[in-house]
A and B are shown apart, each in its own frame.
Chain A
């Protein structure tokens, strides 16, 4: 049976992990290579790196970071942040990334999804969607781009469906309402998207407890859960998360 994935997410700026972690056992908690290796050994199923560097020079650094990570970490790696062209995507895949995540560039230039899928395969094209709840007569979720700064006239469920039609092989869904609050994922949003598309959905934003992970997988029907704070600050280990989920009947890979 296919297991549900637990995915720690690391924000990287100019080649350094930001929103630091509190692992006392690490020599340098800002080194993405050391952190990736830590999570690899801890039994994470996959890693997502979000490059929040603003400059082209910094982006070059990210490719180098991925190269060094792939020398010692033998698990799937997804890299996102600021990818605008086929060349940007190609560079990261050649460096050792398995998937790339497109957000703003996919909204602004949807053909990038189809061109990337044609050239490299749908399996490596992840479309990241940042969405915020709109409660009017009918509840819907609006898509935001530019790191959640800019609303666009897109319904998240419709956009996810369209992205998959264009060739996205996976949706990385972040609830902007829940993100950073550690009070649980937006289950309603997660379920709406999971039921609308036939590709895997990674739930992101809001994980504060192990129960939250369970809810996103069970209630939200997500295929994977992404979390940052609860793992980085050592609230829970990946192993604890998996043991908890296994006890609740969720299929997970126990190491």
Chain B
């Protein structure tokens, strides 16, 4: 018998993390909500959820000593899923609240949404799958997912853009690089297809891509 996959959801402050835990709980894994660097080091997979402001989030992650464990986890090739702000924090820096550094796992900048659109971008919008990845397994192209954000990521390398969404402009809504996956939308708020997204992520954790 194999051990259940352990998935650590990084707890770095306020917001709705319960839904992420609940989404993973119904899958074949053991979700743990934690802000301990030891837990992250031991995890098979890590979810970096996202709520609130980027600056405050980076400060919380730094204070709790979680930035290095997250970077080590990613460089070891284990799966990580960034959600919403959790996607944005993977990039080099963000224009939110003046130019501020993020974790720098993927080169690129986070910018404010522009165009004649209401901000935040709030509601269900389509994700166009521009590059195949196993995270999309069983999910039809142009499916709707739930978004709530005012900033978007602009990665330097086009090769990491796997999904795009139109809102005022076309932005990167799914980022992938091997076992590193991130979404601008909230899969835990996106109904059955969102749950399928998490299921695919857990599947990745049980059989990671060999890099």
Asked if A and B bind, the verdict is yes
Interface residues, chain A, with chain B CB atoms under 8 Å away: 1-5, 40, 45, 67, 70-72, 74-76, 90, 93-98, 118-124, 169-170, 198-200, 223-224, 253, 255
Q: What residues of chain A lie closer than 8 Å to B120, measured between beta carbons?
A: 122-123, 169, 199-200
Among residues 180 to 211 in chain B, which have CB atoms less than 8 Å away from a CB atom of chain A?
188-192, 194-195
- Chain B residues near A123 (CB, 8 Å)? 120, 122, 148-150
Q: Does B14 lie within 8 Å of A75, measured CB to CB?
A: no
Q: How far apart are the CA atoms of A95 and B19 in the complex, in Å? A: 9
Give the interface size class of chain B: 35 or more
Interface segment out of the listed B61-69, B123-131, B133-141 = B123-131
Extra A-B contacts (11), CB below 8 Å, given A2-B167, A96-B18: A2-B123, A5-B123, A74-B190, A74-B192, A75-B146, A75-B191, A123-B148, A123-B149, A200-B122, A200-B123, A253-B124
For the complex of A and B, 9 pairs with smallest distance between CB atoms: A96-B18, A121-B52, A253-B124, A253-B144, A123-B148, A2-B125, A3-B124, A200-B122, A123-B120
Annotate B139-159 by CB proximity to A: 1 below 8 A, 0 otherwise: 000001011111000000000
Of A90, A96, A199, which contacts B14 at CB under 8 A? A90
B166 to chain A: which residues have CB within 8 Å? 1
Tell me the B residues contacting A by CB distance below 8 Å. Answer: 14-19, 22-23, 25, 51-53, 117-126, 144, 146-150, 166-167, 188-192, 194-195
Select which of B25, B53, B118, B189 is within 8 A of A199 by beta carbon: B118
Q: Which residues of B contact A255 (CB under 8 A)?
A: 191
Task: For B194, give its contact among A74, A94, A119 (CB under 8 Å).
Answer: A74
In the complex, which of the residues A40, A76, A90 has the most CB atoms of chain B within 10 Å of its own CB atom? Answer: A76
Q: Which B residue's beta carbon lies closest to that of A255?
A: B191
Of B23, B119, B123, the most chain A CB neighbours within 10 A belong to B123
From known contacts A2-B124, A70-B22, infer whether A121 and B15 are also in contact, taking CB-CB under 8 Å: yes
- In the complex, which of the residues A76, A198, A200 contacts B146, with contact meaning CB atoms closer than 8 Å? A76
Q: Which residues of A contact B23 (CB under 8 A)?
A: 74
Contacts A121-B53, A198-B119, A253-B144 hold; do A74 and B19 have CB atoms under 8 A apart? yes
- A57 to B24 Cα, complex, angstroms: 31
Chain B residues within 8 Å of A199, by CB: 118-120
> In the bound complex, do residue A122 and residue B22 qualify as a contact, i.e. CB atoms below 8 Å apart?
no
Whether B19 lies near A70 (C-beta < 8 A) is yes
A98–B123 contact, CB under 8 A? Answer: no
Asked if B123 and A223 sit within 8 Å, CB to CB, the answer is: yes
Q: How far is the CA of A96 from the CA of B147 in the complex (A)?
A: 17
User: In the complex the two chains form, is B122's CB within 8 Å of A170's CB?
Assistant: yes
- B124: chain A residues within 8 A (beta carbon): 2-3, 5, 45, 253
Please give, as numbers and ranges, the residues of chain B lying within 8 Å of A170 by CB-CB distance. Answer: 122
Alpha-carbon separation in the docked complex, A233 to B144 (Å) = 28
Pair B18/A95 contact, Cβ less than 8 Å: yes
9 contacts between A and B (CB under 8 A): A2-B147, A72-B22, A74-B191, A75-B146, A119-B14, A119-B52, A123-B120, A198-B119, A200-B120
